[in-house]
A and B are shown apart, each in its own frame.
Chain A
Amino acid sequence: MLTPAILGLLVFFVYPLVANLYYSFTSYDLLSPPRWIGLRNYTYLFTQDPRVAAAALNTLWLVLIMVPIKILASLGVAGLLMKARRVSGFWRTVFYLPALVPPVASVVAFVFLFNPGSGPVNAALRSVGIAGPLWFNDPQWSKPTLVVLAIWVMGDVMIIFLASLLNVPREQHEAAALDGANAAQRIVYVTLPAIAPVILFAAVTGAIAALQYFTEAAVASGVASGKSGVYTKLSDVMGYPADSLLTYTEWLYARGFGSFQLGYAAALAVVLFVVTAVFMGLLLRRFDAFNPDGRS
């Protein structure tokens, strides 16, 4: 009964990992067979590639800024739902609903809402006398606008926090209150330690997701640039505006499948694998569910 799954692992996981390492030492365009070029892809990657630094820095920005903000926002809303005793039903659905919207749909909607000319956000700002920024069309604002989107779709993380907050034993709160702890102290000494593992889990899985951040940035660049049409290759507008939205995986895609430099894309993939492995190692060490002997 396990045979298909083992075959699947071999064909779609083990073989591609090994083959990718091989391709990374070659020059390959799919038309002629791969040609061995040693470490040249890697020296180009680390010393010459004109856009890889921008791509890597944008991705790092997402890991260091977008992920923590999203976690704080989900924690805040989950805490608020607990405090107002609105843990189930209507309110939970309200805050969860945006997470359901297909990512492409939510980005297209956000590019409309935040479009500088007629967008409802800038219209609302104008009505109170504020000249809104250009959002997705301004290299300074494009990533922060994606953070707003990330907060809007925080529902999946929030649900996990909500479940773990519900698991904190009431008695611990009551005992702390009897000992004279005020509300803030109870959060710091009772709630946070109890849910710390869940926060760590959300942070590490969030970081792994941010390392492969692709759809939202690519679609935002495509639609905001006005060139998302049938006749423009998406890889030609990736990064718009001014490479501020060029992520590492977009660059991998553009080199590999926009200009079919598959060997070079494989080298970019090897570097991505090494970076991701650090975070995966952390998850495997710290979480029982990822341990073969652990239970749920």
Chain B
Amino acid sequence: MNHNTQSRHRVLNFIADNTILAVLGALFIAPIVLVLLTSFMSGRQTLTASWWPDPWEWDNYVKAFTEVPLASWFANSTMYAVLSTVFMIVSSVPAAYVLAKIKFRFSNVIFLAIIVAMLLPPQVTIVPIYVMWAKIGLTGTLWPLILPNLLGSAFSIFLLRQFFLTIPSAYADAARVDGAGEVGVLLKVMVPMTRSGIAAAAIFQFFYSWNDFFGPLLYTSENQQAWPVAYGLATFHGSHGTDWGMTMAVTMLVTLPVVIVFFFAQRVFVEGINLTGVTG
């Protein structure tokens, strides 16, 4: 094979690979584009085969707010996601630090319990937990999903511990020599060095709560006032005939906050995913 055919071979390969990618990429983007276009169609037009809005029904995004209590659903989602995230950070960052950096009796047992709690399907323990919240009288609200974060979230503790492990103990030791207590070491030395890890855990928690369906179904399905928007979306289509246009508008509105957060924090986020996908 002479040099010329070899380089031609390489060029053809390059074109082939990128063509496959372009076709696949188009298939992956198509659902988003079709949903976006449909969200600007009238209910009647969505029942036809045309895929370009004619006329553009901008009103879908406004009407949706009057058809259902969408604004309060968004407020509920925001409260659920923001409070869960703040509570999780306050409780899980110290726990993760202790598990990563301080050796004590039973630390292995506690770590093992956190791993199992993280991997366990939530449905395994849902009966007693539901009974507990029913006895306290908080079913019908989102509090059973928010308050537990004050006592740590297993997944977040695991993720944050992985970040703390990457920081050499020498930094903490130096601070201790200078007379800092453990709280001081955590706040003044470790937290500033794991900012991206804490950001990743916060984003995961925010997305988890924003997207949650099982929890709101379990605790709030009887009380429409308490629904977060992801749960409301699941009921939207049936309650509003077959208006796919407005349904797709709500679908876009539910997705938008997640995409915005992602684009602002892409690097941190991908780093976080890679820390959960462990090598053997």
CB of B61 within 8 A of chain A?
A: no
| Known contacts A95-B25, A108-B233, A296-B162: A227-B31 contact under CB 8 Å | no
Q: Which of A81, A112, A152, A252 lies in contact with B248, CB distance below 8 A?
A: A112
Contact partner of B21 among A80, A157, A289, CB < 8 A?
A: A80
CB of A211 within 8 A of chain B?
yes
Contact with A along B111-131 (1 / 0, CB 8 A): 111111101111111111111
Q: Determine the residue in chain B with the shortest Cβ distance to A205.
A: B119
B37 to chain A, nearest CB (A): 9
Q: Which of A13-21, A61-69, A128-136 contacts B (4 or more CB under 8 A)?
A: A13-21
Known: A14-B113, A80-B17, A262-B131. Contact between A108 and B25, CB under 8 A? no
| A249-282 CB contacts (< 8 Å) to partner B | 249, 252-253, 256-257, 262, 265-266, 269, 272-273, 276, 280
Q: Min CB distance, B117 to chain A, in Å?
A: 4
Is B35 in the interface zone, CB < 8 Å from A?
yes
Q: How extensive is the interface on chain A, given as a class?
A: 35 or more
Question: Which of B14, B97, B148, B279 is the one whose CB lies under 8 Å from A197?
Answer: B279
Contact A91 B21 (CB under 8 A): yes
Q: Are B238 and A229 in contact (CB under 8 A)?
A: yes
Among candidates A12, A84, A105, A272, residue contacting B129 with C-beta atoms closer than 8 Å = A12
**B-side contacts of A167, CB under 8 Å:** 279
Q: How far is the CB of A21 from chain B (nearest CB, A)?
A: 9
- The docked-state distance in angstroms from the alpha carbon of A257 to that of B222 is 11
| Chain A residues whose C-beta falls within 8 Å of the C-beta of B251 in the assembled complex | 105, 108-109
Nearest residue in B to A266 (C-beta to C-beta)? B127
What does the 1/0 interface line of B42-75 toward A look like (CB < 8 Å)?
Answer: 0000111101000000000000000000000000
What is the distance, in angstroms, from B201's C-beta to the closest C-beta of chain A? 14
Stretch of A50-58, A137-145, A158-166, A172-180 contacting B (4+ beta carbons < 8 Å)? A158-166
**Are the C-beta atoms of A4 and B91 separated by less than 8 Å?**
yes
Q: How far is the CB of B227 from chain A (nearest CB, A)?
A: 10
Q: Which residues in B have their C-beta under 8 angstroms from that of A6?
A: 110
Q: A7 contacts the other chain (Cβ, under 8 Å)? A: yes
Which residues 102-142 of A sit at the B interface, judged by CB distance below 8 A? 102-105, 107-113, 115, 117-118, 120, 123, 126
Residues from chain B with a CB closer than 8 A to the CB of A227 are: 238
Contact in complex: A296, B47 (CB < 8 Å): no
Q: Known contacts A7-B151, A272-B123; decide if A16 and B129 are in contact (CB<8 Å).
A: yes
Interface residues of B in 4-58 (CB under 8 A from A): 14, 17-18, 20-21, 24-25, 28-29, 31-32, 34-35, 38, 46-49, 51
Question: Please, which residues of chain B bring their CB within 8 A of the CB of A81?
Answer: 21
Q: Is B230 interfacial (CB 8 A cutoff)?
A: yes
Judged by a CB distance under 8 angstroms, whether A214 is at the interface is yes
- Cα-based distance from A7 to B149 in the complex (angstroms): 11
CB nearest neighbor in A for B216: A104
B207-223: contact bitstring with A at CB < 8 Å (1 yes, 0 no)? Answer: 10011011001100100
Taking the complex as formed, is A9 at the interface, i.e. its CB lies under 8 A from any CB of chain B?
Answer: yes
Q: Are B95 and A4 in contact (CB under 8 A)?
A: yes
B235 at the interface (CB under 8 A from A): yes
Q: If A94-B25, A230-B224, A296-B162 touch, does A269 touch B279 (CB 8 Å cutoff)?
A: no
CB neighbors of B among A15-53 (8 A): 15-17, 19-20, 23, 30
* 20 contacts across the A-B interface (CB closer than 8 A): A8-B148, A8-B152, A16-B126, A20-B124, A94-B25, A100-B262, A104-B211, A104-B234, A105-B254, A108-B233, A109-B248, A113-B31, A201-B280, A214-B213, A222-B235, A229-B239, A233-B221, A273-B120, A280-B116, A295-B165
Extra pairs beyond A102-B254, A262-B130, A276-B121 (16, CB < 8 Å): A5-B157, A9-B113, A13-B113, A13-B117, A91-B25, A95-B25, A105-B255, A107-B234, A108-B251, A118-B244, A159-B270, A231-B239, A249-B123, A269-B123, A272-B124, A292-B108
10 residue pairs, one from A and one from B, having the closest CB atoms: A197-B280, A8-B151, A160-B277, A16-B125, A228-B238, A212-B121, A5-B95, A1-B94, A5-B152, A229-B238
